[in-house]
A and B are shown apart, each in its own frame.
Chain A
Amino acid sequence: MRRFTLIAIPYLWLLALFLVPFMIVLKISLSDTALAIPPYLPQLDLSEGWKGFTNFFSELDFENFTFLTTDDLYWKAYLSSLKIALISTFFTLLIGYPIAYSMARAAPEWRPTLLMLVILPFWTSFLIRVYAWMGILSNEGLLNQFLLWTGIISEPLTILNTNYAVYIGIVYTYLPFMILPIYSALEKMDDNLLEAAEDLGCSRTSAFWLVTVPLSKTGIIAGCFLVFIPTLGEFVIPSLLGGSQTLMIGKVLWEEFFNNRDWPVASAVAIILLLILIIPIILFQRNEQKQRELEQ
């Protein structure tokens, strides 16, 4: 009985916080827009009994999903989001890995402090930090003033309201999510392994690629997922730092929902976004499972 409760808790959590909201969104995505509160039809009317039930289901259709294919705005937004998410994940990894590596190599008494410094930005509101970047990146911002002062540039650079600003914002915001899992993987690594690799004829560089990187693989994968998934649906950063040409699906979704009050289409956009994320994750998991079975 106790074991059953222990297993039931995470499943209840999943049911209440993921499956139920997902079913609601899925239902809305299959409905039609209406000038009502809430702004969609049909509503489930249980007073009519079984007939109400069948009526309800007969009115659900995939109209909104077909609509998404008719307008190229949507798939362009999906593609652009994927591109931005991939590029920013790559740069987050590029910057995060050396930071995590040097943290794991630092003297043990320094590590808690360094870890604290990585988490420190979370003490300030995310929105305030993004606004601060607007102050840094704008034409009269700190960065341009500094570059003009040093004489590197003669004209202020236009960074704010471009995709560059979006990349900077995303990399900055999600860096801790990349650093922490890689750090925890690297910290567990035995330093003797690198010495053993060198002893067996590796140079420092090849020892890094042959030993350190494979052993931090789990950290790299976890970090990439933690950055890629939220970035794909990111809305705040592109709308604050990006310009009109920055097309991201999170922004489209927001506009559909709040500007057009088209809940069903917005829900359909969300469902497709979820599928884009879930399918590769499931494929990846299955692949890992297979590899583990092969090893046994």
Chain B
Amino acid sequence: MAQAPVFAPWDDPSETPLIQFKNVTKRFGDFTAIDDLTLDIFEKEFFALLGPSGCGKTTMMRMLGGFETPTTGTISIAGQDMNNVPPNKRAVNMMFQSYALFPHLSIYENIAFGLRRTDIAKGAIDARVHEMLKLTRLEKFARRKPHQISGGQRQRVALARSLAKAPKLLLLDEPLGALDKKLRQDTQFELMDIQEKTGTTFVIVTHDQEEAMTVASRVAVMDEGRVMQVATPADIYEAPNSKYVADFIGDVNLIEGTASLRAITAPTPEPEDAPTEAPQEEIAAQTGPKPEPNKLGEWLHDKLLFPILGEREQTIKQLPPPSAEELKAAPSETAYQIPEGGLSLEWAAGELPIIVLNGDPHLDGKTLTLAIRPEKLNIAKARPDAADNAMRGKVIDIAYLGNVSTYYVELSNGAMIKAQMTNARRLARRDITWEDDVWVSFTGTAGVLLES
């Protein structure tokens, strides 16, 4: 294990999953809460079920806990079919959204509750409860009743109680919903820490995407009883597989258009089917006046400055030839070349098509949606030279969020696009403001093409 620092059992075909959902469907009357769901969850994973309310994530968790049974299909835990196993016979514990602490019992007795239902000796129970109290830093509150402690402490009691029996699987139902933002962030890291320490498999249900992204090893995005995508937080964010996932996780710009294959024309530097303004501008820039000594300057030097400065070098000062790194860093020295391949997306009449370098050639001719995150867009007053795509627009609104600002830019076809810029400079130094005409630019790999 020490030699495999990347935890990714889902990529390892030899691993057997701890939990398997096989074609699970759950109906409540006419309503289908879970629709033919197949999913594997591995040992020691911190798995997040993410979705809007009513998407079936809580039903899934309750089926794992044994409070609901699937209408069809099977759920197995550690290879054992769980369909007819009642909650009290499962090595699964749940942390309830409302915490569900027993109000008539002290914190100590709440944590000991599950242990007392087993045939563990009294001394061992006491030792385990103290271990749990220590893990959750609650030693001082052992004698208190649940109503005598704060919300954050109650949340930790609920966690300690559900961990006391050392379950194979811990279910957390919106565990941090009742906490304020600051406390929630602290608790998220605490949860991850405890998960690592105990080595328990955690399945967390949440509607808070930030929370899911922070804590989880993998996230399942759900909608209307179906799992839309299961992937690591980074993959979910960077490579969503559907418009729904792209839209649900974070902010996104969706640009619809018709895709066409970019011709591979290796010898010609500018492919005809993807004309860009950029090369022409480069040429215009290069044909401007070049630095050269002039007559007036020479006369001034000879008459006035010669006694002070002495002999003047006759040769024109030459910069050393650019190194390889400099050449790379400054592509504007030579005309910027847009890499070949990918698709171009016709998104508005009279505008240049968007070049999508990572577009799948099989999607040629289809109507697609380009999903692109606001922070992957750059806005500037002048057209940047080294950009695969640049479109003209007007700043309609600016949302100042402290660390970042979101610019709402209206494009020529009336579509609104969001671009996020880090506020590295102080407010007064920023030059883009309302009603400014700007260029929105992004690279050919910044977005993801999605089928509608």
- Does chain A have a CB within 8 A of B102? yes
- Does chain B have a CB within 8 A of A190? yes
Report Cα–Cα, A124/B94, bound state, in Å.
50
Contact B114 A201 (CB under 8 A): yes
Contact B88 A190 (CB under 8 A): no
- Does chain B have a CB within 8 A of A196? yes
Report Cα–Cα, A198/B113, bound state, in Å.
11
Residues in B with CB closer than 8 Å to A199 are 65-66, 87-88, 92-94, 162
- Does chain B have a CB within 8 A of A136? no
Contact B103 A203 (CB under 8 A): no
- Does chain B have a CB within 8 A of A44? no
Return the chain A residue nearest B144 by Cβ: A295
Contact B88 A202 (CB under 8 A): yes
- Answer whether A215 and B67 are a contact pair too, CB < 8 Å, given A196-B96, A199-B88, A200-B114: no
Residues in A with CB closer than 8 Å to B67 are 195, 198
Contact B94 A201 (CB under 8 A): no
Return the chain A residue nearest B171 by Cβ: A199
Flag B71-93 by CB within 8 Å of A: 1 or 0 each: 00000000000000011100011
Contact A200 B104 (CB under 8 A): no
- Does chain A have a CB within 8 A of B283? no
Residues in B with CB closer than 8 Å to A214 are 104
Return the chain B residue nearest A201 by Cβ: B117
Contact B102 A198 (CB under 8 A): no
- Does chain A have a CB within 8 A of B376? no
Report Cα–Cα, A155/B114, bound state, in Å.
56
Contact B98 A192 (CB under 8 A): yes
- Answer whether A190 and B94 are a contact pair too, CB < 8 Å, given A198-B88, A215-B104: no
Report Cα–Cα, A206/B161, bound state, in Å.
18
Return the chain B residue nearest A207 by Cβ: B88
Contact A203 B88 (CB under 8 A): yes
Return the chain B residue nearest A217 by Cβ: B104
Expressed in whole angstroms, the minimum distance between the Cβ of B174 and any Cβ of chain A is 12
Report Cα–Cα, A215/B145, bound state, in Å.
14
Contact B98 A190 (CB under 8 A): yes
- Does chain A have a CB within 8 A of B100? yes
Return the chain A residue nearest B167 by Cβ: A199
Contact A195 B100 (CB under 8 A): yes
Residues in B with CB closer than 8 Å to A197 are 102, 113
Our pick among A203, A206, A211, A217 for the contact of B102 (Cβ within 8 Å) is A211
Residues in A with CB closer than 8 Å to B65 are 195, 199
Contact B98 A200 (CB under 8 A): no
- Does chain B have a CB within 8 A of A193? yes
Contact A201 B165 (CB under 8 A): yes
Q: What are 12 A-B contacts with C-beta separation under 8 Å? A: A195-B87, A197-B102, A198-B67, A199-B65, A199-B66, A199-B94, A200-B165, A201-B117, A210-B113, A211-B102, A215-B104, A217-B104
Query: B residues bordering A, Cβ < 8 Å?
Result: 65-67, 86-88, 92-94, 96-98, 100, 102-104, 113-114, 117-118, 145, 161-162, 165
Known: A196-B96, A199-B162, A203-B88. 4 other contacts (CB 8 A): A192-B100, A199-B65, A199-B93, A200-B117
List the 8 shortest-distance A-B pairs measured between CB atoms, nearest first: A200-B114, A201-B117, A196-B100, A192-B100, A198-B87, A214-B104, A201-B88, A192-B96
